[in-house]
Amino acid sequence: MNTNPSNLWTSAEHALGYLVRADAIPHRTEGEAVLLDHVLKTVQRILDLGTRDGRLLALLKIDRPLAQGIALEFSPAILAAAQSQFATDPTVKVVTHNLDHPLPELGPFDAIISSFAIHHLDRCP
């Protein structure tokens, strides 16, 4: 449940509109390239906060196929996209969670990543 009325991501219209616009965000690929340079290829566990369709986690997994991933998302309209992205990848688990609340027990991570997501929160997870 969305307890933050200023967060529009539980609206299907808002969420699906973003899926259409996402690839047009200026300098997005440059930012992603910097992240790819900074996350070790030997990383074992990655947490992606506000994963949407899992784009960032999927990019990291290309060169880190053995890494375990948790793709965390709360929007019902978006969750199907994340589940579809990782449907055939047993190393990634899609977890439904609203980051306005403390994280569930997910174990330790070597990298916690997030793209265009945590600025929607009232406070850090």
Ligand X SMILES: C[S@@+](CC[C@H](N)C(=O)[O-])C[C@H]1O[C@@H](n2cnc3c(N)ncnc32)[C@H](O)[C@@H]1O
Angstrom distance (rounded) from CA 106 to CA 103? 8
- In the complex with ligand X, the residue whose CB is nearer, 75 or 85, is 75
Side-chain-side CA neighbours of 14 within 13 Å: the count stands at: 8
Interacting positions 85-104 with ligand X (CB under 6 A): 98-100
- In the complex with ligand X, the residue whose CB is nearer, 51 or 85, is 51
Using a 10 angstrom Cβ sphere, with 0-12 exposed, 13-18 middle and 19 or more buried, the burial of residue 88 is exposed
- In the complex with ligand X, the residue whose CB is nearer, 42 or 58, is 58
> In the complex, which residues of this chain contact ligand X (CB under 6 A)?
7, 9, 18, 22, 50-52, 55-56, 73-75, 78, 98-100, 115-117, 120-121
